[in-house]
Amino acid sequence: MDAIIDVTPLYLNGMLKTLQLLGIAGVGAFIVGVFVAALRISPVPALRAFADAGFSGAALKEEVGGAGLPSSVFGACMCWFHAANVGTTGYALLTMAAANLLSQHGTPEQVARFVGPMAEGRFFGTMALSEPHAGSNLADITTRAEPQRDGTYRLFGRKMWISGGDHELSENIVHLVLARIPGSPAGTRGISLFVVPKFLVGEDGSLGEHNDVVLAGINHKMGWRGTVNTAPVFGDGSYTPGGEAGAVGSLVGQKNRGLPVMFAMMNEARIGVGLAANALGYTGYLKSLAYARDRLQGRPVGADASTPQVPLTEHPDVRRMLLAQKSYVEGALALILYCSRLVDDASSLEDEAQRSEAQALLGLLTPIAKSWPSQWCLTANDLAIQVLGGAGYTRDHDVEQHYRDNRLNAIHEGTHGIQGLDLLGRKVLGDGGAALGLLASRIQAAARRAAAASAEGTHYAQQLESAVQRLGEVTAKLATLGKPAAITADSTAYLEATGHIVIAWLWLEQWVVAAGNEGSFYDGKRAATAYFFSRELPKVGPMLDLLEQADSLLLTLDPACL
């Protein structure tokens, strides 16, 4: 925690400082400069620059061709790229996630064929889970994988919404596909995972025949316009590798264990979505702040009309919009970096008890890390548009694009509603509240540190401790409801209340670090903490009241009346 808090202010003082911390500021700024310059031409040189600088494999282990960068460091680097253009980094994100999965669960042959070229940025990856009739509930997928005599499989079926599903940006596309082997049990226990390349890859790494995978169409979505979104079809006979129809693939991991493997990777992908949402919110905040400092408009209330116009930052309501953005984006960044640190701790700490503690906390915080930035950094983008006035609504400025791009983060890697169900059903009640207790003890420790610092700290500490206590009481009450449907009917409110408490905690941690330090950077930390505690944390009370009442409105509602 301390290390993260040490690092956090550096990001928050402009992301360049992060790279200074890492000793690669010049290199980082140069690479991002090349990336941004390349984007003006097309995504190909941008992605090439990204790969040539070694970022495609930076987070992979060294033994599979990566650089073994810790998640916390790599996540910080990715903020820069997402802020430059998230529609381009989408390809890199998917490729790194797929390569990471294969490096951990693939056979040595699969690793040799696919992971190396992915780490070099020559092959790109996809995650092909969703189908037209099975999105939130993957238990209903029907794509079929027929075993072949040579140990491979032939896949047949339709997928939907697959990002990066076809393009000419890379030499090959490596699809990770969820499918059912005939005879497997129904539901999630009968789903297996396969690696299916667009072009078959020989033992020597050479590209062979076009596999039997084509597109039924492209989805024209509102944001991330640079990341093509596709509806692929596997095995419709458009191509006949080896003389017959069917997309050739090989099993990853064990038969019928595809979903747990995919979910293990999804946790990191969820943090990655939160990070992208954060970068978009953060860059919108910085752009609206620069605009507000520059733009002259009106005078303070009561000032004489003959006095000069003042910058937008002089108006209290514009300050509200800027401080709100700051409190959301810097709070969310602290959360993402904290979770990234937990990813590192869960795999690297020597003490087993500490490792499992990090794992439990990470599991609990992951739905929040995915959904809180997707919700509140989007609100930050909304405010950024408003700060620019009419100009914010035009394509002359980036902020409208950041809003459209960020709006997509509520759907990727599990919708907002699904994250609420995951948090309350699986992560909190699933382990009898153990992980929540762990979180509460960390929050209480921070509150004690704040209370020891000053009267202001005591005030924040009391407010936060009382919110945590209330959350514990409401959770215990929900557990007594017995039926899962009744417990989780308002789980979105639970997700949002818990998210706000977590962010308030991370603001308090920053406030403690800032205490006693002078200058506008630290004053900004204090102002944003004050904003979050006075304007945001109080929103938790009504949400917890609603949950405590176990209101049955949503559970018993007749859909006919909607």
Ligand X SMILES: Cc1cc2nc3c(=O)[nH]c(=O)nc-3n(C[C@H](O)[C@H](O)[C@H](O)COP(=O)(O)OP(=O)(O)OC[C@H]3O[C@@H](n4cnc5c(N)ncnc54)[C@H](O)[C@@H]3O)c2cc1C
What does the binding site for ligand X look like in residue numbers (CB under 6 A)?
127-130, 135-136, 161-163, 221, 229, 408, 411-412, 415, 417-418, 421
In angstroms, what is the minimal distance from the CB of 494 to ligand X? 13
Tell me whether strands 172-179 and 123-128 are parallel, antiparallel or unpaired. parallel
Nearer to ligand X, 416 or 470 (CB): 416
Nearer to ligand X, 379 or 415 (CB): 415
Q: Is the dihedral angle over the CA atoms 91, 374, 269, 417 positive or is it negative?
A: negative
**Angle ∠(209,212,216) on CA atoms, nearest 5:** 135
DSSP bridge partners of 193:
178, 252
Amino acid (one-letter) located at 63: E
In angstroms, what is the minimal distance from the CB of 267 to ligand X? 15
Nearer to ligand X, 216 or 303 (CB): 216
Question: Is 311 in a helix, a strand, or coil?
Answer: strand
Nearer to ligand X, 152 or 229 (CB): 229
Written as one string, the DSSP assignment of 515-537 is TT--SHHHHHHHHHHHHIIIIIG
Catalytic entry in 131, 400, 413, 465:
413
Active site residue 413: yes
HEC states along 352-421?
Answer: HHHHHHHHHHHHHHHHHHHHHHHHHHHHHHHHHHHHCHHHHHCCCCCHHHHHHHHHHHHCCCCCHHHHHH
In angstroms, what is the minimal distance from the CB of 163 to ligand X? 4
Nearer to ligand X, 129 or 279 (CB): 129
Residue in this structure with the two tokens 């991991």, named with its chain if needed: 253
Residue 434 contacts by C-beta under 8 Å, 6 or more apart in sequence? 360
Nearer to ligand X, 161 or 328 (CB): 161
DSSP state, residue 265: H
Closest alpha carbon to 288 in 397, 379, 396? 397
Tokens of 325: 């953005």
Tokens of 313: 């930052």
Distance CA 457, CA 446 (A): 10
In angstroms, what is the minimal distance from the CB of 407 to ligand X? 10
Asked if residues 226 and 85 have their Cβ atoms less than 8 Å apart, the reply is yes
| Alpha-carbon 466 to chain mean position | 29
Number of residue whose CB is nearest ligand X: 135
Nearer to ligand X, 412 or 525 (CB): 412
Distance CA 462, CA 439 (A): 17
Radius of gyration of the chain (CA): 24
Distance CA 418, CA 371 (A): 10
Distance CA 195, CA 381 (A): 37
In angstroms, what is the minimal distance from the CB of 388 to ligand X? 26
In angstroms, what is the minimal distance from the CB of 233 to ligand X? 14
Nearer to ligand X, 61 or 158 (CB): 158
Question: Is 448 in a helix, a strand, or coil?
Answer: helix
Nearer to ligand X, 368 or 461 (CB): 368
Q: Is the dihedral angle over the CA atoms 320, 321, 324, 330 positive or is it negative?
A: negative
Closest alpha carbon to 511 in 528, 536, 534? 528
Distance CA 344, CA 354 (A): 12
Asked if residues 466 and 529 have their Cβ atoms less than 8 Å apart, the reply is no
In angstroms, what is the minimal distance from the CB of 499 to ligand X? 16
Nearer to ligand X, 415 or 444 (CB): 415
In angstroms, what is the minimal distance from the CB of 221 to ligand X? 5
In angstroms, what is the minimal distance from the CB of 94 to ligand X? 7
DSSP state, residue 174: E
Closest alpha carbon to 286 in 70, 468, 84, 513? 84
In angstroms, what is the minimal distance from the CB of 411 to ligand X? 5
Question: Is 129 in a helix, a strand, or coil?
Answer: coil
Phi and psi angles of residue 283, each rounded to the nearest 5 degrees, phi first = -70, -35
Q: Please list the active-site residues.
A: 413
